[in-house]
A = this chain, B = another copy of it.
């Protein structure tokens, strides 16, 4: 590994990416970009409106995979980053970088998926851009979407808000998206096919806020690149707490667990696109879980752990095994699944 060169692992969402952002990007481009530790930045206008603003580029390979495509991903991923700030989406931008040779038919299919997903998420595509580059200068299609949302005044959600005593809830099964993309890319021919869970989470997040007092929802975060393990490590570090998970309560589909074993992946590090983690006050744990399970996008929601005081120790994440021991769960190091989103 050379210190001098950008590696694939710098884009993995794991340790190298955090180092790149903290050591190279943030010091140069200014303190505010550190807000990317949350999924969206908060901007307060003079009129006291609180806006959420976020951006993501999508480079998933292949551009069409079981359960979704790059267009559905580009709308969902950005709308979900807004929802993870408690924001209601109002507009997204759509910027296409097309490799010469993509067919109009393929582009049309992706655009139809974008339109369908935007309607599902209740958001409008307000502005756009189209660039075309020569064959070999891109990989078929890259999409960037930026998102703009309004944060209702009573909501205050951040990765820094987890408190000792809080419970950790996940909105559904883990690893589906990463495995679906990987199986398509590698032509694995899984005996039980895995479908991506990519979807907008706006409705599910609104259902949560409708069921519990807004001030009881402390953290929302979607475990995309780097998976649940990396996301929880980010939350632990931002909040200065210890997070302890119950191994047996973490929902993973049988077929995902099986495929992960064959491929040597840990489902806790595999990317998700239609799931979120909520850190909630203990008194609202039951109401939150019930609200999520009552919604079609959250039927498999589960309470998977709790937040503890870190005391004088470094913030960290542990998994409690069925035997009662605690296993340390680190952030993703290196690259597990490149170009998963």
- Interface of A with B (CB < 8 Å)? 3-12, 17, 20-21, 24-25, 28-30, 32-33, 35-36, 40-41, 43, 45-49, 51, 53-59, 61, 90-91, 93-105, 107-108, 111-112, 114-115, 118, 124-134, 136-139, 142, 144, 146, 148, 150, 338-339
CB distance from A24 to the nearest CB of B (A): 6
In Å, the complex CA distance between A209 and B43 comes to 26
Known: A25-B111, A148-B53. A129 touches B36 (CB 8 A): yes
- Smallest Cβ distance from A27 to chain B, in angstroms? 9
A30 CB, min distance to chain B CBs, angstroms? 6
Cα A136 to Cα B137 with chains together (Å): 7
Nearest opposing residue in chain B for A102, CB measure: B6
Give A44 Cβ to nearest chain B Cβ, in Å. 10
Establish whether residues B144 and A95, one from each chain, have CB atoms under 8 Å apart when the complex forms: yes
Please determine whether B24 and A59 come into contact, CB atoms closer than 8 angstroms. Answer: no
20 cross-chain CB contacts under 8 A? A5-B101, A6-B100, A7-B100, A11-B98, A29-B111, A29-B115, A32-B124, A33-B94, A36-B128, A43-B126, A45-B150, A46-B150, A51-B148, A55-B93, A57-B96, A57-B129, A61-B137, A97-B97, A133-B139, A138-B139
Determine if B93 and A53 form an interchain contact, defined as CB atoms under 8 angstroms apart. Answer: yes
State the oligomeric state as a number of copies: 2
Contacts of A142 in B (CB 8 A): 57, 97, 138, 142
* Chain B residues whose CB sits within 8 angstroms of the CB of A53 once the complex forms: 91, 93, 126-127, 148
* B130 A28 Cβ-Cβ under 8 A: no
Q: Which residues of B contact A57 (CB under 8 A)?
A: 95-97, 129, 131, 142, 144
User: When chains A and B are docked, how far (Å) is the Cα of A243 from the Cα of B124?
Assistant: 34
Assembly CA distance A94 to B53 (angstroms): 11
Instruction: For A17, give the chain B residue with the smallest CB separation.
Output: B130
Residue of B nearest to A148 (CB): B53
> Do A28 and B114 have beta carbons less than 8 Å apart?
yes
Query: Do A33 and B125 contact each other (CB < 8 Å), given the known contacts A28-B112, A28-B115, A53-B91?
Result: yes
- Asked whether A128 and B98 contact (CB < 8 A) given A5-B103, A133-B139, the answer is no
Cβ of A103: which chain B residues have Cβ within 8 Å of it? Answer: 4-6
Tell me the bound Cα distance from A136 to B138 in angstroms: 7
Are B131 and A11 interface neighbours, CB within 8 A?
yes
Chain B positions within 8 Å of A30 at CB level: 115, 118, 124-125
Is B128 a contact of A29 with CB atoms below 8 Å?
A: yes
Task: Determine if A6 and B128 form an interchain contact, defined as CB atoms under 8 angstroms apart.
Answer: no
User: Which residue of B28, B127, B139 is within 8 Å of A54 (Cβ)?
Assistant: B127
